[in-house]
Chain A
Amino acid sequence: MTFWERFARWVRRPFRGRQSMMTCREQVDLLADYLDGALDPGVTGALEQHLDGCPSCLNFIKTYKATTVLVREIPCEEMPEELMNRLTSFLKEKIRQEKAGGDRRETQA
C-alpha cells in the first residue's frame, strides 16, 4: 500500500475523541514517533486531523520520509582490491613486528 493510499484511509477514518488543535511545530516534533507507530491513538488522531487540513505538513511528512529513502538508496561501495591487499600486508607486517618485538605496545582505543 502506498503512502497516499494509507493516508486516504487515515483521513476517511472518523476522528474519535476531543477535538484538539495540533500545531505544525507539534506535528514535526511527533513525526518520528508517528511514523514508528509509537503514538497513542488520541495523539495520532489529532495529528492526522492536522495533516488533513495542512498541505505544508503533508509535504513535510512526505519529504521527511523521502529523505530516509534517499539515504537508504545509496549503493554499497565495494572496497578496491588494491586497498584490500595493502591493508592485509600492512597488518601482517605490523603483527610480525609486534611478535618479534616481544613487549607489545598498548595503544589507546
Chain B
Amino acid sequence: MATDRSDPSDQDLVERLKAGEEAAFEALLVRYRGKVYRLTLSFTKNPEDAEEVLQDVFLTVYRKIVSFDGRSAFGTWLYRIAVNAALMKLRGRGPIQESLEEYLPQFTEDGRHTRMVVDWTEGAEERLLRKERERIVREAIEALPPDYKVVIVLRDLEGLSNGEVAEITDTSVLAVKARLHRARLVLRGKLERYMTESWRRG
C-alpha cells in the first residue's frame, strides 16, 4: 500500500486513471465512497436503492472519466453524477407529494402573519432526545420534493457553497439561493408541525 506519493491530489488520480491505472480508480473510490454513500442515503432512505445508486455512480465515473475535462473539480463532477443518479432512482417513487403550501408561512392581505408564530426551539432539547430530534429532521428532509432536497442536502448537510451547488445542479447562484430559502421555509414549517405536536403529546 505504501507509495512515495501517499496523498495524491484528485487531479493526479484522474490523470493516472485516464492513463489506465486501475489503482487510481480504487484510490478515488476509497476517497469518495463515504461521501457518495451519505449523499445517496439522504435522498433515498432505502438501503438497496442507495447501494444501486453507489454502483451506478462509480461505474459511470469509470466509464466517463475520459470525457471529464477538468473544467470543474473532480468532486463537483462526481457530485453531479451522484445527484443525477439519486434523482433518477427517486423518480416516480417515494411518498405522494403533499402540498407544500401548508408548510409555508401564511399572511393576511396586509402582509402580517395570520397567526402568532411560536418559538418551538424553546426547551426543545429537554423535551426531545437528541436521537429523536435527528429522526424528525431526517424525516422532514426525506419528505421534501427532490429539488428542495438537493439544495438542503448539498448546502446544509454537505456544507458546499452556493456556487458549488449551482455548478452541480446546473443552475445559477441566484436560483440556488431562492430555492434554498424556499426549501428552508418548508422545512421550518414541517419542523414547527412536528415540534408543536410533540409538545401537545407532552
Residues of chain A at the chain B interface (Cβ within 8 Å): 23-26, 28, 31-32, 55-57, 59-60, 62-64, 66-68, 70-79, 83-84, 86-88, 90-91, 94-95, 98, 104, 106-107, 109
Contact = CB atoms under 8 A, between A and B. Distances in A.
A26 B38 contact: no
A56 B117 contact: yes
A30 B41 CA distance: 32
B156 A25 contact: no
B185 interface: yes
Interface stretch (B3-11, B91-99, B106-114, B164-172): B106-114
A81 to B, nearest CB: 11
Interface size class of B (residues with CB under 8 A): 35 or more
B197 interface: no
Please report whether the interface of chain A is mostly helix, strand, loop or mixed according to DSSP: helix
B7 to A, nearest CB: 20
A63 B22 contact: no
Contact of A107 (B41, B54, B60, B152): B60
12 contacts: A23-B111, A31-B181, A67-B188, A67-B191, A71-B152, A73-B133, A87-B54, A88-B29, A91-B58, A91-B59, A94-B62, A95-B62
B156 A64 contact: no
Given A23-B107, A67-B191, A90-B55, 6 more contacts: A56-B116, A59-B119, A63-B117, A72-B156, A94-B59, A109-B84
